Amino acid sequence: MDMDNMWEKIKKNFKEGAAVSIEKIEEYSKIGKLKIEEFTAKKKIEKNCVDIGERVYDLMESGKAADVAVDPQVKKGVDNIRSLNQDLAAIDQKMKAIAEDARKAGKGKTAEPVDPAGV
Three-state secondary structure call for residue 113: coil
pLDDT bucket at 115, cuts 50 / 70 / 90: very low
d(CA 79, CA 102): 35
With a pLDDT cut of 70, the percent of the chain lying above it is 87
Q: pTM for the whole thing?
A: 0.71
